[in-house]
Structure 1
Amino acid sequence: MSSVVMIHGAFHELWGPFRLWTRWTPSVLDGLWVAGVSMRDVSLPRLQDASVVAFWGDLVRPEPRTPDQLAAETTAGEPPDAVADLVEGVGSTQGPGGTDLDALVHQVAKDTNARSMELLAQYVLDPDVRAKVHERLERHLTPDTRVVVAHSLGTVIAYQVLCTRPDLEVDLITLGSPLGDPNMVFPLLQPAPVDGKGVWPAAVKRWTNVAAEGDLATAACPRLAEAFGDRVEDHLVFNGRHAHNAEPYLNSVPTGAALADALGLERRC
């Protein structure tokens, strides 16, 4: 059984649990290293035995459009040109002193966040999808689980599942989390907030939250302690132009330190 359970957010519909584990694990190791863990105590085979990705992207992978549907779209008018829309968006975001690359990155981030909100709506409004997604995480949660590492929309999933598991005692690490968003997420959580504060998840003994400068997913509430109480340990990191990507979150010092502590790995001061 795995002591480290990782769960992803949006934009992984075309991958799978093994591909994602392969992508994320080097960043997990980098995070432990930068946090001061002696890598003699950690190896790829050991981490492979100890960790798993709770994958749910295939549940929301879109079905292909039929030839008739494509023909109908063409008849109705030119299909949307994603590149043209992106260029137009860049033009609207270009400001004095800004570079075209900065504007492009900002527009991509906006589009990415919009798609994340679409998947959030599907997860919240479709009870069948929600139940299937929860089961993907539930199947990996055992008494051997010591830490859950969740990214983006995965933090919402992890939170709601861990609220229902008082039989567990785990650390929770949330990365790029929209949980505190006062409009799109926080009011819709189950269990519902009480007196303006989110319920502490029953399975969690320690909660570390990491937000990044410029991450639109965390912009509304980067400090989750404001929404869920002072027990949440908040950290701010710099992920450059990859503000919401999982990998720079995973290889940051706060993430590596929290993971090391959860696993009982000694860190150099």
Structure 2
Amino acid sequence: MSASPSVLLPLSAIVTKLRAAGCVFAEDEAELLLSAARTPDELDAMVGRRVAGLPLEHVVGWAEFCGLRIAVDAGVFVPRPRTEFLVRHATTLARPDSVVLDLCCGSGAVGAALAATLGAAARPELYAADIDPAAVRCARRNLAGTGGLVFEGDLYDPLPAALRGRVDVLVANAPYVPTEAIALLPPEAREHEARVALDGGADGLDVQRRVTAEAPLWLAPGGSLLVETSERQAPLTAAAFAREGLVPRIVGCEDLDATVVIGTRPAA
């Protein structure tokens, strides 16, 4: 009979190590590591990786998002709680059998959450794409049970042409951190997540503008583009939507520190 992980490294010792490493939620993290480890050696290795600065989600291999366990491999962008606000609004716009496209999908968390929230009775026709091969591998695992298709490539480039003009809900959690602000991010993000998932260019809006420019070609009449951004950047994002013929509106959630810009293609 194998020893319990706690035999060699009790909870109090894990908490002490994590606190010394600067982990704010040391008690919660210690309990999670204990529950995830299968052997004392695995537990010791996991604690060591966390103390060294690896994001907790990369250590345990998953992140909680909208009540789901989303697989997150090393180097892949970890879905943030604020992005649940994006899912909430996308869900209100989806109808039974909607065509949903998740651009810059990362781990596929948004698509997976939308499929789970809408349920089997209104399961969307789901597509996703990302430029990062590691993220695409994660997304394919996370969307395996949804029937969704995940493509690897730059924004719309890898998508099937038959999807043009059919997308009802287009979600894009595109990178929006200005290049100079990358250095100010927490080490977990700055050092352990792919730069391509964080860097939005000089003003943070480079990728958003590229998403917006082609969105009208892919949206169905009455379809909507939803983009997560910051409160400061939102007016600029909304103006970009308007220039491309989308009708914009800005929504925010103070509790989650979340801002989403929604642009709708006129139905006429």
TM-score by length of 1: 0.33
Q: Name the one with the larger strand percent.
A: 2
- More relative contact order, 1 or 2 (CA 8 Å, 6+ apart): 1
TM-score by length of 2: 0.33
